[in-house]
């Protein structure tokens, strides 16, 4: 499903070529979709970020583009999620809300289920849709959210539902090519029960194409090995009081919203995509959109899932990395499976920094890497700003061991990571990474998770240790080369006949009030020279 012909450095240009080849009318519509089933995790962001890059490239080529995101909130709750998130992204176990009340709503559309957190939103569907929209906003992605329930209730779907039900035989025949067990009396419509509100329990018993209604009865069903009781009601529902099954709803949405492009996960690539193509072409008489199949990614090696509660959210990641780094992650080739490794998130940040420097001609790369940076970078950052300073992430983690903001600035200047004449706003923006790297150090409890003591801890030293550290202080007065200080530790340990581990431990006690810490020589090289000398002499 990739473009024939020339390949661009940025995949979004290949998709844009395919869209342009169809000579679409403006505005070009790019769509994505998620069911608001639970906590939006970063896997869901594929549905927004992938389309964003295609939209951005098309806009750059002079097109008007509408990026639509449908929240499929007329889908019904099939399973209680193990964890939920409140309106402030606090993640809680199911037990923190009224789980019994929620359980009563199995089989009910998300837009008809009360908000489990009270009255912060109109419904369960609205609650989780709002979180996903907030995540997109945090990444500064402009997207128009459309609720599928509204598409039904406004009548936008009336005609396409009528057409599909008027050709139910053809619909069954197409569906049977793609899935087993399509009954002769299968009707591609799922009414909501007028009595109990459930949708998964209704069985259609008749269709009236003059009145645009279906008759149904509400019966017991089993979903995911869980029985959902029907209420026994027999009723009649209009086309606005239910929904098409997903395999039909997807192509119906392409028609109603005039969709030109849609990215989707590889789970759909072998299931609802091929059936959707046939339904679009043979039943609705429309062209399906230009597709983009994205590979899933894992976080720390684990698959993400809202229902099982394995989630990593956008606010959680923005605690650790700049928004641009996260946007960059989604600018990478969607055809490759990727793991977002939070233990080594420093490597992703380094990669982004190289990408950024390549754009400004300050780093080398292969032809492909240079061309990718040149094309994609302006879409990844909010603004192209050559004066922006990025502290290397691990260096930022070192600064994170220091509380004192002035000392942080001095250290960054000493190491050449911050120009001495940088404007206050530039300094402030650069130091934002220190807070992120410190949170990373705490989260991972790694080699940077230490706190420099502002005043000298009360430390007992042997005479030999005190004498060795006095000599080290004299040495640091002459240099702040971290490697040289590290080497000097070893020399002094030998001169004073001390186990080198003991000498380092003495240093850790002085600087961190701890028995271990980062590579001490290098760390001291990055600190303020006078501060180090005074501390080694236990004078400050």
Would you say 194 or 271 has its CB closer to Zn ion? 194
What is the closest distance, in whole angstroms, from the C-beta atom of residue 38 to Zn ion in the complex?
13
Q: How far apart are CA 306 and CA 35, in angstroms?
A: 11
Tokens 């090696």 belong to which residue? 301
Q: Could you say which of 49, 196, 293, 396 contacts Zn ion (CB under 5 A)?
A: 196
Would you say 128 or 297 has its CB closer to Zn ion? 128
Evaluate whether 483 touches 521 at the Cβ level (below 8 Å). Answer: yes
Q: Supply 4's token pair.
A: 């024939």
Q: How far apart are CA 447 and CA 512, in angstroms?
A: 13
Q: Could you say which of 44, 50, 127, 178 contacts Zn ion (CB under 5 A)?
A: 127
Would you say 117 or 254 has its CB closer to Zn ion? 117
If DSSP states are collapsed to H, E and C, what string results for 143-208? CEEEEHHHHHHCCCCHHHHHHHHHCHHHHHHHHHHHCCCCCCCCCCCEECCCCCCCCCCEEEEEEE
Q: Could you say which of 10, 11, 52, 117 contacts Zn ion (CB under 5 A)?
A: 117
What is the closest distance, in whole angstroms, from the C-beta atom of residue 150 to Zn ion in the complex?
18
What is the closest distance, in whole angstroms, from the C-beta atom of residue 187 to Zn ion in the complex?
17
What is the closest distance, in whole angstroms, from the C-beta atom of residue 121 to Zn ion in the complex?
4
Q: Could you say which of 195, 226, 343, 347 contacts Zn ion (CB under 5 A)?
A: 195
What is the closest distance, in whole angstroms, from the C-beta atom of residue 166 to Zn ion in the complex?
27
In 3-state terms, what secondary structure has residue 262? strand
Of 72-80, 108-116, 203-211, 331-339, which segment contacts Zn ion by CB under 5 A? 108-116
76 binds Zn ion (CB under 5 A): no
Angle between helices 463-476 and 529-536 (to 10 degrees): 160
Pick the closest to residue 527 from 502, 507, 499 (CA basis). 507
Of 77-85, 187-195, 245-253, 487-495, which segment contacts Zn ion by CB under 5 A? 187-195
Would you say 24 or 36 has its CB closer to Zn ion? 36
Q: How far apart are CA 504 and CA 489, in angstroms?
A: 7
Q: How far apart are CA 370 and CA 360, in angstroms?
A: 10
What is the closest distance, in whole angstroms, from the C-beta atom of residue 131 to Zn ion in the complex?
8
Evaluate whether 18 touches 56 at the Cβ level (below 8 Å). Answer: no
Edge-to-edge strand ranges of the sheet holding 65-71: 144-147, 65-71, 28-34, 261-265, 290-294
Would you say 119 or 497 has its CB closer to Zn ion? 119
Evaluate whether 306 touches 41 at the Cβ level (below 8 Å). Answer: yes
Q: How far apart are CA 216 and CA 203, in angstroms?
A: 5
Of 23-31, 121-129, 375-383, 428-436, which segment contacts Zn ion by CB under 5 A? 121-129
204 binds Zn ion (CB under 5 A): no
Would you say 108 or 174 has its CB closer to Zn ion? 108
In 3-state terms, what secondary structure has residue 233? coil
Q: Could you say which of 214, 218, 340, 476 contacts Zn ion (CB under 5 A)?
A: 218
Q: How far apart are CA 195 and CA 235, in angstroms?
A: 8
Name residues contacting Zn ion, limited to 222-251 (CB under 5 A).
231, 233
Of 50-58, 104-112, 217-225, 525-533, which segment contacts Zn ion by CB under 5 A? 217-225
Q: Could you say which of 13, 115, 249, 528 contacts Zn ion (CB under 5 A)?
A: 115
205 binds Zn ion (CB under 5 A): no
Question: Which residues in this chain contact Zn ion in the complex, by CB under 5 A?
Answer: 87, 115, 117, 120-121, 127, 193, 195-196, 218, 231, 233
């Amino acid at each position: 499903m990739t473009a024939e012909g020339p390949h661009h450095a940025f995949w979004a240009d290949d998709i844009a070529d395919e869209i342009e080849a169809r000579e679409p009318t403006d505005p070009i519509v790019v769509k994505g979709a998620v069911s608001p089933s639970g906590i939006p995790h970063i896997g869901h962001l594929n549905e927004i970020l992938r389309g964003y890059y295609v939209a951005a490239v098309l806009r750059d080529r002079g097109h008007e583009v509408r990026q639509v995101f449908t929240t499929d909130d007329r889908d019904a709750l099939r399973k209680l999620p193990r964890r939920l998130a409140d309106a402030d992204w606090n993640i809680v176990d199911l037990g923190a809300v009224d789980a019994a009340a929620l359980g009563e709503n199995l089989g009910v559309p998300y837009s008809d289920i009360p908000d489990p957190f009270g009255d912060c939103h109109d419904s369960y569907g609205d609650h989780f849709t709002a979180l996903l929209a907030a995540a997109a906003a945090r990444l500064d992605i402009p997207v128009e959210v459309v609720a599928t329930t509204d598409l039904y209730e406004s009548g936008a779907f009336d005609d396409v539902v009528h057409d599909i039900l008027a050709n139910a035989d053809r619909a069954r025949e197409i569906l049977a090519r793609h899935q087993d067990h399509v009954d002769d009396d299968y009707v591609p419509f799922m009414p909501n029960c007028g009595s109990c509100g459930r949708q998964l329990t209704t069985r259609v018993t008749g269709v009236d194409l003059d009145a645009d209604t279906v008759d149904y009865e509400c019966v017991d069903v089993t979903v995911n090995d869980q029985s959902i009781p029907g209420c026994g009601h027999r009723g009649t529902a209009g086309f606005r009081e239910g929904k098409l099954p997903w395999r039909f709803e997807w192509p119906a949405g392409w028609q109603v919203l005039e969709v030109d492009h849609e990215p989707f996960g590889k789970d759909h690539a072998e299931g609802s995509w091929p059936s959707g193509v046939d339904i679009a072409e043979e039943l609705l008489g429309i062209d399906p959109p230009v597709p983009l199949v994205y590979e899933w990614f894992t976080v720390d090696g684990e698959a993400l899932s809202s229902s099982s509660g394995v989630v990593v959210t956008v606010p959680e990641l923005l605690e650790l990395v700049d928004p641009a780094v996260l946007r960059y992650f989604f600018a990478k080739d969607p055809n490759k499976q990727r793991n977002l490794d939070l233990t080594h998130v420093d490597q992703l940040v380094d990669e982004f920094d190289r990408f950024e420097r390549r754009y400004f001609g300050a780093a080398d790369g292969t032809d492909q890497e240079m061309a990718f940076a040149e094309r994609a970078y302006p879409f990844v950052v909010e603004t192209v700003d050559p004066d922006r300073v990025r502290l290397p992430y691990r260096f930022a983690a070192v600064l994170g061991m220091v509380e004192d903001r002035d000392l942080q600035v001095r250290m960054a200047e000493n190491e050449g990571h911050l120009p001495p004449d940088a404007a206050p706003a530039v300094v402030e923006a650069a130091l934002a990474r220190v807070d992120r790297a410190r949170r990373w150090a705490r989260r991972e409890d790694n080699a940077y998770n230490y706190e420099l003591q502002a005043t000298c801890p009360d430390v007992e030293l042997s005479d030999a240790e005190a004498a060795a550290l006095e000599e080290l202080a004299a040495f640091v007065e002459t240099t702040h080369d971290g490697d040289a200080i590290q080497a000097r530790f070893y020399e002094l340990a030998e001169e004073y006949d001390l186990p080198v581990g003991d000498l380092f431990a003495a240093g850790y006690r002085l600087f961190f009030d701890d028995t271990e810490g980062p590579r001490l020589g290098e760390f001291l090289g990055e600190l303020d020279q006078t501060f180090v000398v005074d501390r080694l002499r236990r004078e400050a």
